Amino acid sequence: MQAICFQCKFVGIGLQGGRCPSCGYTLIVNSEALAASEIEGLLRRSRPMAVAAPPLPGVNPEPRKAALLAARRRERAATALEARKAAARRARRRKLIVTELAAASALLAGVFIALNVFGAL
């Protein structure tokens, strides 16, 4: 007896059990009454190639309002995050410049004090 799986198209001969060993789908047992070409035809008909079916009645293919609102919320959150990152970069740059100016002015003050102590000024 020949067993056929219509899920993964497995074909086995003399199998024990009613489930496909590959995918676990229920096997159809063929008592050799069907020819191989008829089995292939059945398999082809059972799995149509990716044909787009028309939408069901009452089902709108447009995204739902909740999905649109969630997408807008994600966009706003991404924009806000980018703005916070940019503000943090500006603040870091500003802090670095202020620190460098303070260090440079302290160095100049030290030079002036040293020159004044040695009487060069």
Report pLDDT digits (tens) over 12-35: 777 777 788 888 887 777 665 556
Percent of the chain with pLDDT over 90: 42
Q: What is the residue-averaged pLDDT of the chain?
A: 82
Task: State the DSSP code for 15.
Answer: -
Q: Which helix (H) or strand (E) holds 86?
A: helix 65-117
Q: What is the pTM of this model?
A: 0.42
Q: What is the pLDDT of residue 17?
A: 72
- Residue 64 has a CB neighbour count (10 Å cut-off) of 9
40-49: long-range contacts, CB 8 A cutoff, minimum separation 24 = 42/6, 43/4, 43/6, 43/9, 46/6, 47/6, 47/9
Residues 16 and 41: their CA atoms lie apart, in Å, by 25
In the predicted structure, residue 65 carries a pLDDT above the cut 80: yes
Dist. CA 118–CA 109, nearest whole Å: 14
Task: State the Cα–Cα distance between residues 74 and 94, nearest whole angstrom.
Answer: 30
